[in-house]
Amino acid sequence: MADTLDRLFKPPKGSYFLFGPRGSGKSTWLRRLHPDAYWIDLLDEARFQSYLVDPSLFSAELDALADRSTVVIDEIQRLPNLLNVVHQKIEAKRLRFALSGSSARKLRRSGVNLLAGRASLRHLHPYLPEELGRAFRLDEILDTGALPIVHAAEDRRDTLSSYVRLYLKEEIQAEGATRNLAGFARFLPIAALFHGQALNVASLARDAGVARTTVQGYLQILDDTLFTFQVPAYEARLRVREKRHPKLYWIDPGLARAVAGRSGPPDADALGPLFEGWIAQCLRAYHDYRGLYDAIAYWSPAEAKHTEVDFVLQRGKRLIAIEVKAARRWRADLSKGLRAIADLNGIERRIAVYLGTQTLRPEPGIEVLPLASFLEELRNGL
């Protein structure tokens, strides 16, 4: 399936970086987008070692290409110093580069800004329902996720388990991301339990048995290797002491479950965070592919500790509030957050997405949409 599904990602006209976690289908899609490109795979160990020993071989290889050729470099983060040559060839030969990567860590540390203004930054995400079409099944997505490498597997749970082990071995140990691999391995399943929750670094550090500063480094590793992302609190007119911690989300519900050591269909308690996290990832993907919003946050006012709205999308001065509920029947109390946010300056729409089948207007200004209707709204840009 990973070879046949169309993706929403469209490449820019010039050179670009394409980031995405391992198994997100970057290589497959780049081959379809650029069938005639000159291909350099840095996972090819012989080629990697030859450039590592003598980077001038890379430059000579590019010099042999015709001007304005397209070059794909897969897993560029393995040799960030090649970006110096890439920069030079964009200028001298007008080569167009598609540079894929599964980690921003080494690139950021090694000066990816060498290409500032000369290469756009793009992301490839797990499958969206729009990409899966008739193959989309919400229960499957919340169980084993939507990473292409997993979705195409015969045994998805076994593939997920192997994927997590491979991540520890190749992304963390081999790249030397942390000296304390055992501590990181303890931290991972605990961090998975924070999926959809405000970050409590002190609690994470205590449960993992490592220092608070170490946990902060581990969280950065998860972000850099594109396993997680964070949604900040909406901070209009908040004083410093009132600032909320960001919420942590994993990029895929199946991945979060596998890291936490969970298998089998998710139970009722797990369903809410998984559904919310998956909607967060859908919002993020549509932002990257179609510019859905300028900024995203969650809303939790200082004066009401137990009132919250999951997502606030900002478009200029306009705001769209989105509440996510894994309920099959709507109840009046589920509107609490959307009711409370009504007076926030700039609110244009207040939307709830739930697992029921009816579109509702429980009170003025609040739209309650079943998932299918909400996904249609996303396709149309809200």
Q: What is the pLDDT of residues 127-138, one digit of tens each?
A: 999 999 999 999
User: Do both 302 and 321 map to the same domain?
Assistant: yes
Q: Quick one: pLDDT at residue 116?
A: 63
The answer to whether position 147 is within a domain reads yes
Write the pLDDT tens digit of every residue in 274-291.
Answer: 999 999 999 999 999 999
The answer to whether position 90 is within a domain reads yes
Q: Quick one: pLDDT at residue 167?
A: 82
Q: Quick one: pLDDT at residue 185?
A: 87
The two beta strands, 120-123 and 309-315, are unpaired
pLDDT band, residue 239 (cuts 50/70/90): very low
The answer to whether position 273 is within a domain reads no
State which of 83, 99, 123 marks the end of a domain: 123
Least confident of 213-227, 299-313, 342-356: 299-313
3-state secondary structure of 222: helix
Token couple for 141? 């997505």
The answer to whether position 283 is within a domain reads no
For residue 273, with 0-12 CB atoms within 10 Å meaning exposed, 13-18 middle and 19 or more buried, which class applies? buried
The answer to whether position 230 is within a domain reads no
Domain with 212 in it: 129-223+249-261
In this prediction, residues 13-29 reach a mean pLDDT of 93
The answer to whether position 349 is within a domain reads yes
User: Do both 54 and 135 map to the same domain?
Assistant: no
Locate all alpha helices (DSSP H) within the chain, ordered by sequence: 26-33, 45-53, 56-63, 82-93, 105-110, 129-132, 138-144, 148-151, 156-166, 181-193, 201-208, 212-224, 253-259, 268-290, 336-340, 371-379
User: Do both 97 and 139 map to the same domain?
Assistant: no
Token couple for 131? 């990409």
Q: What's 369's domain CATH number?
A: 3.40.1350
DSSP conformation letters of 89-113: HHHHH--EEEEEES-SHHHHHHTGG
In whole angstroms, give the CA distance from residue 372 to residue 357: 8
In this prediction, residues 32-58 reach a mean pLDDT of 96
The mean predicted confidence, pLDDT, of the chain is 91
Q: Quick one: pLDDT at residue 305?
A: 66
pLDDT band, residue 99 (cuts 50/70/90): very high
Q: What's 68's domain CATH number?
A: 3.40.50.300
User: Do both 78 and 33 map to the same domain?
Assistant: yes
The two beta strands, 197-198 and 347-354, are unpaired
State which of 74, 97, 123 marks the end of a domain: 123
The answer to whether position 242 is within a domain reads no
3-state secondary structure of 357: coil
Q: Quick one: pLDDT at residue 238?
A: 41
User: Do both 257 and 184 map to the same domain?
Assistant: yes
CB 256 within 8 A of CB 192: yes
User: Do both 43 and 151 map to the same domain?
Assistant: no
User: Do both 317 and 349 map to the same domain?
Assistant: yes
Higher per-residue pLDDT: 176 or 187: 187
pLDDT band, residue 102 (cuts 50/70/90): confident
In whole angstroms, give the CA distance from residue 156 to residue 179: 31
- Measure the N-to-C terminal CA separation of the chain; round to a whole number of Å: 29
Matching residue, tokens 């050179």: 15
- Which residues, including other chains, have CB under 8 Å from residue 272's CB and lie 6 or more apart? 196, 325, 326
Token couple for 106? 């080494």
User: Do both 22 and 146 map to the same domain?
Assistant: no
pLDDT band, residue 301 (cuts 50/70/90): confident
User: Do both 216 and 100 map to the same domain?
Assistant: no
The answer to whether position 237 is within a domain reads no
Domain count across the chain = 3
Q: Is 158's pLDDT higher than 50? A: yes
User: Do both 93 and 156 map to the same domain?
Assistant: no
User: Do both 158 and 254 map to the same domain?
Assistant: yes
In whole angstroms, give the CA distance from residue 157 to residue 150: 8
State which of 80, 99, 123 marks the end of a domain: 123
CA distance readout (Å), 327 to 306, 324, 368: 19, 9, 11
User: Do both 310 and 365 map to the same domain?
Assistant: yes
Q: Is 48's pLDDT higher than 50? A: yes
**For the chain, percent of residues with pLDDT exceeding 90:** 76
